[in-house]
Amino acid sequence: MKFFVDTAEIDAIAELNDLGMVDGVTTNPSLIKKSGRDIIEVTKEICDLVDGPVSAEVTATDAETMIAEGRKLVEIAENIAVKVPLTWDGLKACKSLTDDGHMVNVTLCFSANQALLAAKAGASFISPFIGRLDDINLDGMEIIEDIRTIYDNYGFETEILAASIRSVNHILDSARIGADVITAPPAVIKAMVNHPLTDKGLDAFLADIKAADIKIL
């Protein structure tokens, strides 16, 4: 499974990238706003830092302007994936940009039917939002299962990018089902290392080391 980091914070990306935990990055206008940086400037810095796809989102809602913005964004770096919303105009923009040879991430997906349309339009990535479905008392993992089945049935090459990840369990369940990619905030990815038995075992080891006065260096 590929790990994308859902942030526009350079230091957080660099820390995970140094550990080999970054296969790509996803950004959106909200994350750019939080960073306090210019969208072009921060996106270029991220692209220079990581080798994998960096999703940069359009701001328009009509197909013509989305296409124009997408063509502007791909000038930033070769690893840009243009992020468009899952609307009819977004699908038009997806088809045009993919026909031009650009990566496209179709976002705000909340149904398997939408994901099927995105694959037909040639999307490189489909981003179903797990956490937001959970928020309205639906099982967000069911959409991952349905999309995986449909894509496997027909050999679609669009990668399932599980998004709106809120917990380490979301990551685990996505991996079990077979999502190609997860995108999560740095804190959630780092939380995967935590386990109370690891902490308990380490405390016991440290106590024994101290009692036995064990030294290596």
DSSP string across 31-76: HHHHHTS-HHHHHHHHHHH-SS-EEEE----SHHHHHHHHHHHTTS
What lies within 8 Å, CB to CB, of 19 at 6+ separation is none
Which helix (H) or strand (E) element contains residue 154?
helix 140-154
Measure CA of the first residue to CA of the last residue in the chain; give whole Å: 38
Q: Which among 37, 50, 115, 117 has a CA at the least distance from the CA of 80?
A: 50
The single residue of 83, 120, 200, 215 carrying the catalytic annotation is 83
Closest CA to 26 of 108, 133, 114, 112: 108
The answer to whether 188 and 5 have CB atoms below 8 angstroms apart is no
Residue 83 annotated in active site: yes
The residues that are catalytic are: 83
